């Protein structure tokens, strides 16, 4: 199966971001991809954390979700919409701080949403020069999520969903591996500082530990707010080999994922069978 990780440099304009996403999805489909992964916050990176509240949607309907479903149908493509802000079913009381879920949604080629994952781990970082705290506007999810993808080659892929900061919590991916996951998705918007230090090593570690493919679609560049994201979208095989990557700027990073390679790696090195805890 050919999979594509789409790298973007999203702005504060929802319309511009959707247009850029549509162009990259078309490029991925034209190149033969069956699965395309968009980055975290593909629909908006505003000047302020609260900006995402203005474009929130209820799960199941809204301009962003409708656009993704239409693109999946039009292109005959599996699309995982990196993340978008979804309104919690139980709205915050009047006067309370409003928060949204940072949700990743999977659409099949018929345009149906077949899986939803709400980001579980919320990023916080402060080095004295740059400061982030997603809990100011995000509500943490509580459950892992994976879905089955029947590819043209006859293999049924077990696809595990995660988002950005989740990458630092190995137990999430180990739980996915125990459930039979063979492809781990990591849509992200890593900061330049943390990405430079940890991005590649964490992605390759998650692939090696779980003998699984990893697809990571990232934000990569300087955004209108001045925020810098690391980029380096990549696809990694179960042995930790980087199959394809792009440093910065918008683009399509694509590689063929071979299910037989997973079986070979897990047969030669049956580490998943040797777990004690």
Which amino acids are annotated catalytic?
40, 119, 164
Length of the chain: 277
Tokens coding 172: 């999430």
Backbone φ/ψ region at 31: left (φ over 0), alpha (ψ -120 to 50), beta: alpha
The CA angle 29-33-36, to the nearest 5 degrees, is 85
Tokens coding 181: 């996951």
Q: Alpha carbon of 164 to those of 27, 67, 157, 216: distances in Å?
A: 24, 23, 21, 9
Contact criterion met (CB below 8 Å) for 175 and 129: no
Beta-carbon contacts of 129 under 8 Å, excluding residues fewer than 6 positions away, are none
């Amino acid at each position: 199966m050919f999979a594509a990780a789409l790298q973007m440099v999203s702005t504060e304009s929802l319309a511009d971001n959707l247009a850029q996403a549509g162009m990259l999805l078309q490029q991925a489909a034209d190149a033969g991809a069956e699965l395309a992964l968009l980055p975290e916050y593909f629909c908006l990176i505003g000047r302020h954390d609260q900006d995402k509240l203005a474009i929130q949607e209820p799960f199941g309907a809204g301009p962003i979700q409708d656009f993704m479903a239409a693109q999946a149908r039009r292109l005959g493509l599996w699309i995982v919409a990196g993340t978008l802000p979804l309104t919690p079913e139980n709205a915050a009381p009047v006067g309370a701080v409003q928060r949204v879920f940072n949700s990743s949604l999977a659409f099949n080629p018929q345009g149906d949403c077949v899986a939803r994952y709400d980001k579980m781990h919320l990023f916080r970082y402060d080095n004295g020069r740059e400061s982030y705290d997603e809990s100011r506007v995000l509500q943490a999810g509580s459950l892992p999520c994976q879905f089955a993808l029947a590819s043209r080659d006859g293999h049924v892929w077990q696809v595990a969903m995660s988002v950005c900061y989740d990458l630092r919590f190995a137990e999430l991916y180990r739980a996915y591996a125990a459930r039979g996951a063979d492809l781990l998705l990591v849509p992200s918007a890593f900061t330049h500082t943390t990405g430079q230090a940890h991005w590649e090593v964490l992605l390759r570690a998650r692939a090696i530990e779980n003998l699984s493919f990893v697809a990571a679609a990232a934000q990569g560049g300087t955004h209108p707010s001045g925020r810098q994201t690391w980029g380096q979208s990549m696809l990694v095989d179960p042995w930790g080999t980087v199959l394809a990557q792009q440093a910065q700027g918008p683009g399509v990073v694509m590689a063929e994922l071979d299910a037989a390679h997973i079986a070979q790696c897990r047969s030669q090195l049956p580490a998943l069978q040797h777990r004690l805890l």
